[in-house]
Structure 1
Amino acid sequence: MHQKFESKGKVCVTGAAGFLASWLIRRLLLSGYHVIGTVRDPGNNKKLSHLWSLEGAKERLQLVKADLMEEGSFDDAIMGCEGVFHTASPVLRWLSSDPKAEILTPAIEGTLNVMRSCKKNPSLKRIVLTSSSSTVRARDDLNPNVPLDESSWSSVEICERLKIWYALSKTLAERAAWEFCKHNNIDLVTILPSFVIGPSLSPDLCTTASDVLGLLKGKTEKFHWNGRMGYVHIDDVALSHILVYEHENAYGRYLCSSKVVDNNELVEMLSARYPNFPIPKRFEPLDRPHYDFDTSKLKSLGFKFKSIEEMFDDCVASLIEQGHLSSA
């Protein structure tokens, strides 16, 4: 058994305490990897206790300090790793005085700082970057009859005009990563998840889990339910990262989304499934273009997605278990 763990090698996961990173680390440890996770404060036991409780953590997890905005701070964490999973990315707070500066600079510069550290590491085989499906769908020429695939890129001009700062930050950060890796001959693969749903390993809810909780409690103001959205299980996102890291023929970008539905389809499904929760019956119709995702590229590697019902069932069970939601 010990030999199996040795053979999987050492990898780095940035932003280790995050929603996705925690799941990714869980899956990497279960697969037998030695994981170096970067966090802002390795001494914050309250925030990191869920990582230390993971199976294999005591034997094969190290948490080290690194800061996205500090060049060189990832050098020690990345040196000697064969793979780097860059998941860390700023999320915009609702009450922000300068959203553009708060999210764009950290996303782009943070990504480049990680890439610069990767360039110094002679052991590196591949980087897997967590991007977003928002990097493909902010366009004004959407054809409702043609699903979006990895060849599509969001329009910077549209993102700026509509102030879609998250999509803009992910688009510019991914483009910067591709340019850097091409220039430095580094093997990069990117995963583009849609809206990620599922159980949270950390007791502190991330933005997406808070949004789901609000929806289940009947609140819709200030939330991300903006017309039509793709959804994907958190475990599928973690597993897809490992798949493209391990698969020799993986290349380029990979959309990661189980199903795209309209808001009203979603609340209809949720209301039928959870009749005891005050879920809104309908949303105000939004004039948003119809689109779907073509995920055949990831499926061609043998990937199968969990259903939208399963991801919400798992999310609700987790919210109840952690005391955020009553099971009434």
Structure 2
Amino acid sequence: MGKNKVSRVCVTGGSGYIGCWLVKTLLEKGHTVHATLRNLEDESKVGLLKSLPNADTNLLLFDADIYNPNDFKPAIEGCEFVFHLATPMQHTSQSSQYKDTAEAAIAGVRSIADSCIQSQTVKRLIYTASILSMSPRNDDGVGFRPLLDESCWTPLDASSTYGNEFTLGYIKLKTLAEKAVLSYNDFGDSKLEVVTLPCGLVGGESLLSYLPLSVRVILAQLTGDMFSCDGLNLMQEFMGSVPLVHIDDVCRAHIFCMEQPSMKGRFCCAVACHSIKEIAIYFQETYPEYKIHKELIEGPEEGSKSDFSKLKKMGFEYKYGIKEILDDSVAWAKKLNGSSFSQAV
């Protein structure tokens, strides 16, 4: 597909941090967007999407819940490309046919991939994965492989000093769901191409009226929010360092994957890896008004070298480096909560 060709596309999970920014970017480029939300009665989410440029003519909203994967069929129908961002997060086993979020996520990606194939119009499914599914930790959990790249898969039984049931469940579901959706590339008779984009920790500004979890994790050392600090430590514990990417680059990468004439496989979306210590040093030097507690600077041991060149070799160029990601995250937190954002997060 050429860069100037406009398409009909579907974005699942259209009201999340990445989702609404992706919808905005697609609408600005003139594409017709089918966006799904869990609840069309949620006026704040519907209102945000309807306020985007070109939404009045080019945006259609659909009610769809990942726990009822067939809900997505009407949204996928007639589309050329599907961006699958929706992820089951809150699980209640009593009211669900699935035993946990991982089982729900796998059923969801399979159902959506099947709907793409049945539509006979969808050319490519682009799945928003997490870099936490790409841990370079050795299978026995001790130490790291020498290189972090797309060949790495997180061991499913990996233990953690900093993870809890929720975060470890999330890592497991993102790993299993990504493997499940990539398996569609192995079906010889399928015309569907599947691309997965394991994204680093996403920072920068937002269309949302609150700080997304990933931005809170990036700012954890400044805010002293211990839940978010555990998230930062977990990232370094699993990945060996903290891979970062700007929200604008994430959405540009998704659209880049749509615009290629043919593309399938796994492509990491992260611009750089930095240790917790390096991030703390940058914050201390740039924002001396915020005092970072000593215990928030050290972090777990560091691991592998990273190679994130696969997407760039396809021709994608990142616009934002570590400095812009951190600065834009701080600026957005200040804009939302005032200069005393460290107390407000």
TM-score (norm 2): 0.83
- Give the one of 277, 280, 284 matched to 2:293: 280
Q: Which residue of 2 aligns with 1:151?
A: 151
Distance in 2, matches of 1:128 and 1:105, equals 20
> Which residue identity does 1:147 align to in structure 2?
L
Q: Which residue of 1 aligns with 2:26?
A: 28
Q: Which residue of 2 aligns with 1:293?
A: 306
> C-alpha deviations, 1:50-89, integer Å up to 9, x for none?
2222222222111110111113111100000000000111
For the 8 Å contact 1:5–1:32, the answer to whether it is kept is no
- Give the one of 126, 129, 132 matched to 2:130: 132
For the 8 Å contact 2:31–2:58, the answer to whether it is kept is yes
For the 8 Å contact 2:131–2:199, the answer to whether it is kept is yes
SS of the aligned residue for 1:240 comes to: helix
Q: Which residue of 2 aligns with 1:105?
A: 103
Structure 2 unmatched runs, 5+ = none
Structure 1 unmatched runs, 5+ = none
Distance in 2, matches of 1:304 and 1:281, equals 36
> C-alpha deviations, 1:234-292, integer Å up to 9, x for none?
11111101101111243211011111111111111012111222333453644445123
Query: What RMSD in Å do the two structures reach over aligned CA positions?
Result: 3.0
Q: Which residue of 2 aligns with 1:302?
A: 315
For the 8 Å contact 1:159–1:167, the answer to whether it is kept is no
- Give the one of 210, 217, 221 matched to 1:215: 221
Map 1:35-50; keep pairs closer than 5 Å: 35-50=33-48
- Give the one of 294, 313, 321 matched to 2:327: 313
Does residue 202 of structure 2 align to residue 196 of structure 1? yes
> Relative to structure 1, is the Cα distance of residues 6 and 273 closer, same or farther in structure 2, using a 3 angstrom cutoff?
closer
Distance in 1, matches of 2:144 and 2:219, equals 30
SS of the aligned residue for 1:191 comes to: strand
For the 8 Å contact 1:189–1:252, the answer to whether it is kept is yes
Distance in 1, matches of 2:8 and 2:301, equals 44
Does residue 260 of structure 2 align to residue 247 of structure 1? yes
- Identical aligned residues as a percent: 31
Q: Which residue of 2 aligns with 1:65?
A: 63
Distance in 2, matches of 1:315 and 1:61, equals 28
For the 8 Å contact 1:271–1:277, the answer to whether it is kept is yes
Q: CA deviation at 1:206?
A: 2.4
- Give the one of 220, 232, 255 matched to 1:225: 232
